[in-house]
Structure formats: C-alpha cells, structure tokens
Amino acid sequence: ATFLAVTSFLCTITHFQHMLVIANALPNDDLFALDVLSKLRTDHDSTMEASSDFGHIVQAIPNAVFYPTSPTDIAGLIKLSLSQPRPFTVAPRGRGHSARGQALAPGGVVVDMRSLAGRGGDHGHRVNVSSDESWVDAGGEQLWIDVLRATLERGGGLAPRVWTDYLRITVGGTLSNGGIGGQAFRHGPQISNVLELDVVAGTGEMLTCSPDKNADLFFAALGGLGQFGVITRARIALERAPKRVRWVRFAYSDARSFTRDQELLISRRDSEPGFDYIEGQVQLNRTLTEGRRSSSFFSASELDRLTNLAVETRSSAIYFMEGAMYYDDDDTAAFVDQRLAMISEDLSFVPGHAFVRDVSYVEFLDRVGRDEQKLRSAGVWDVPHPWLNLFVPRSRVLHFDAGVFKGVLKDARPVGPILMYPMNRDAWDDRTTTVTPPDDDDVFYAVGLLRSAVAAGDLERLERENAAVLEFCDRAGIACKQYLPHHDSQDGWKRHFGEKWGRVEAMKRKYDPRAILSPGQGIFPAAA
C-alpha cells in the first residue's frame, strides 16, 4: 500500500510538471491551445484507466488523457506536442482491446477516442449512411456494434460486409490492424472494404484520403498500427443485411479433411452454392476432456459426443469447420436448407457430426458479446490474455498442425479457443500496411491462439508456449506473419514488414516525422 501511495504521489508530481511545461509553452492569447489543454486530464482515475489494456500484460501510465470533442481537437493536441522542445507521444485508444500495450503512451498522452462520440453515448451523429445506401461514414471511435445498429435501421436493413468476431472494438482500431473474420474469404478483410478515410496525420494536418486522393496515406493508414495518423472517419461499403442465419459446425478428427473442406468452400466465393461465412476451430484433446464445459453453440450432450469422438479416434485434436448461410424468410429458408444439404454431400466431416443452429443476423454477429457476458460473470474476462495470432501459408498448414497442435501444444492445459480458417489472398490489397505471408500461396490461414491466463503461473507458461510456437515455425522454415503483431525490437519489426519496411519508414518520415503516434507498438523510437 505504501509503495502504491508513493508511486501515485510521484505520478501526480510528474503530471503536474508536465502540464506546467505545456502551459508555459503557450502564448497567453492562444485560446485554441488553451482549449486543447482544457480537454487534458491528469487525475489518477483517468490515467489509470488508460494505463492498461485487454491483454493485462503491459502497464504504462500516461502523463495525461485527452478527451477530444472533434477531430480538430486531435489536430490541436498533435500541434501542441510538436510545438514542445521535446514532443510528447500521442496514442489514440479505441477501447484498448489490444493485448500488448499497443494503445498505451508511457509518459505521453492517450487520446480517449470515446469522447468523439459525444456525451451520453449519442453515437448516431457520427454514423451516416449515404443517400444511395452504398456506404456508411463512421467515426473512427465508433464500435462496430453501433455501426451495425445504425445501418440496420436504414433502407430496410443494411450492413458492412465483413465483420470481426467481436463487435465491441472500434472502427479506427480494427482498420489499423486489418479486421478479419469469416466473411473475409469472399470480401477480403475490413481494410479491403474502405472507400475513404479522414486522418489527422502526425504532422497535425487533417487529410481526407482514398485510392485517388492522398493515396499513400490511405494505404499506409489501413493496417498502419496507428503509426501515420489518427483515423477519425471511415467510409465503409455496405450490402443489404439478411434477417436470419443458418449457423453450422461440422466436426473432423483429422486436419487434412478439415483444411481440404475449408479450402473447397472458400474457393466457391462467387458461385452458388456456398457459405457467406467460414471459420474453424481446433479443440485440443484436453480442452474437450478437461476444459470448461460450456459453449454458446454446443449443448452439453453434443459436447459429450465430441469428447467421445476424440477418445474413439484417438486424435489429439478435433476440428470444427464453422459456416453460416444468410437468408430472409421462410421461402428462402427452404432454399438455404437445400443448399446446405447439397454442400454437405461434398464434405468429409465425421458422419453424424453436423450441428445446425438458426439465429437472427444480429445474434450471429454479436455471438462473442454473449460470451463476454458469461466470461465477465465468471470473473475471467479481465485476466491476462497472451494472445498469439498468426497468418500461416496454406502450403505449410499441415506441417504447422503437426508441429504445433500435435507437438508444442499437445499436452497444453485448455485455456481458450484456437481459431483456424483460410482466406483468399487476392481479396487483400498489398498496398495496405498489413502484412501477409509471402505470396507463393493463393490462400493463407489465420490461426488465433486466444488464450487466457486464469490461474497462477498460466501467464508465464502461455508465454513460453507462444515462444515455442514461434521458434518451431522459425526452425521449420514456415513463413508465418503475426497478425495484431508484437515485436520486441526494431529488427523484429523489419523482419515482420519484410519488403514493406522501406515504405513504412518513408510514410513515417512523411506523416509522423517526430514519431509521436502510437508509441505502444514499439516500432519507432520517439524523436528526442
């Protein structure tokens, strides 16, 4: 307690001194800068809230938190930083759903993007659908669930085409990474579905960009890990929203059939019949035999059948391919069932192990929101999350399966879902900053080890397992790329970006030359 009190006291002094430095730098009549200062808070509650994230692995206290009410405020903050002899760093924070401090600003200023949405949660005014209903303009601070709610109210129900599994993350935060999910095989990641952006660059300029205007900034900011500017508006393509979803899972006891079927289905993206969404999961044996026995999809008796399957087939992992077909009403439901029956004939899942649910479109998209409620009530949401997300080349995915699921993680204790699903490379735009594996393969897999450290010692163990997975890929020459990446050194980042590194450096020099933005990514040291 004494240590905490002393730390907190020292922090307050630091904050106070910092504010003085800022205030002293201002000419007395600079009302604009004073307005910026009035939106900075240095109190304990504000700075503590902005000092950690979903990962609960890294903690870093900012000197202040900024609560903008308009993009102009953010430009003002950045100009204020640049006017200092030693600029302070600035990190936009969507909702802090990063795992390794990416939205933190140690000793700098965190921009609480929520405050752009207005007081009292009035989100509506920053989500606007075009009159021809082909796109929506959404504030960078908006949660995807709010974008969904707003677009569903228009034109008999509209929606963006590609969704992340979880919708309580922000437009600006996901577009700074990529935004992947089960619809990406058809439409590409979320960054392939953006038409225009408003960005406040690290120079303080407010720029509108698109493939035709300030194109270098547009592509740099998409997947740009917050390095070039703060996204304050994104124009996102829309489609007509379906009303209902047939949501299915097929079980497999071997990786070869599982991946073959997934790849077959993602190849049917332009023609009927096919799925509108395809993902997949790997359940390590111990997850079935010892893991938490609750699932938002499977009933207890279905879980028993899956456990028996694992035991009978003696496979160290069971795989589920997950698909969704959209439809609207009873008439189209019959058509969807026919399609499903037809497709099932082409697949080689374990006979009798197809599981079908019928849910509304919103229930389907917001499924992880329901899991969140359950995990919160069980007290296991706010725990460390040493997540590791990888893009694995298709040509090496069975090798990866053998080395990781049946090797490194063979006896791993069950601590969270493992996602595994393929995407078509040509739906990605190589001009964006997000990095994918080398392009010898036209398909690559997203593999997400989404694990939670719930018991003492879990975090260290999971970190060791993550390191072993990366080491295995290195040794086996599997050219994986991290998604939602984290690297400890600039050399690591150079390897990560590979051929894109030169462009990343050039864009940084042009749009954030003092390296003040999103320091928590640890890519560029802040300029002295």
Give the binding site for ligand FAD (CB under 6 A): 54, 91-98, 102-103, 113, 140, 164-166, 169-170, 172-174, 176-181, 225-226, 230-231, 368, 484, 518, 520-521
Q: What is the DSSP letter of 519?
A: G
Residue 183 or 259 having the CB closest to ligand FAD? 183
Q: Which of 53, 137, 263, 279 is labelled catalytic?
A: 279
486 has catalytic annotation = no
Q: How far is CA 516 from CA 74, 398, 436, in A?
A: 13, 42, 26
Interior angle at CA 300, CA 294 and CA 303, nearest 5: 85
Residues 6+ apart with CB under 8 A from 77: 36, 39, 40, 66, 68, 90, 109, 111
Closest distance of CB 138 from ligand FAD, Å: 11
Distance CA 227, CA 313 (A): 48
Residue 15 or 385 having the CB closest to ligand FAD? 385
Residue 203 or 518 having the CB closest to ligand FAD? 518
Residues 6+ apart with CB under 8 A from 515: 202, 508, 524, 525, 526, 527
Closest distance of CB 255 from ligand FAD, Å: 22
Distance CA 129, CA 154 (A): 8
**Phi, psi angles (nearest 5°) of residue 430:** -70, -10
Residues 6+ apart with CB under 8 A from 523: 225, 227, 487, 490, 493, 504
Residue 310 or 425 having the CB closest to ligand FAD? 425
Closest distance of CB 24 from ligand FAD, Å: 28
Q: Which of 112, 165, 198, 371 is labelled catalytic?
A: 165
Q: How far is CA 6 from CA 11, 13, 20, 428, in A?
A: 8, 11, 21, 50
165 has catalytic annotation = yes
As separate numbers, helices (DSSP H) first and strands (DSSP E) second, the chain gives 18, 18
Closest distance of CB 344 from ligand FAD, Å: 26
In this structure, are residues 219 and 432 in contact, taking their beta carbons and an 8 Å threshold? yes
Q: What is the DSSP letter of 152?
A: H
Residue 213 bridge partners (DSSP): 210
Closest distance of CB 242 from ligand FAD, Å: 19
112 has catalytic annotation = no
Write the burial class of residue 368 (CB in 10 Å: 0-12 exposed, 13-18 middle, 19+ buried). Answer: middle
Closest distance of CB 389 from ligand FAD, Å: 8
Residue 320 or 349 having the CB closest to ligand FAD? 320
H/E element, 158: strand 158-160
Residue 180 or 238 having the CB closest to ligand FAD? 180
Residue 177 or 253 having the CB closest to ligand FAD? 177
Closest distance of CB 109 from ligand FAD, Å: 12
Q: Which of 18, 97, 123, 187 is labelled catalytic?
A: 97
Write the burial class of residue 273 (CB in 10 Å: 0-12 exposed, 13-18 middle, 19+ buried). Answer: middle
Residues identified as active-site: 97, 165, 279
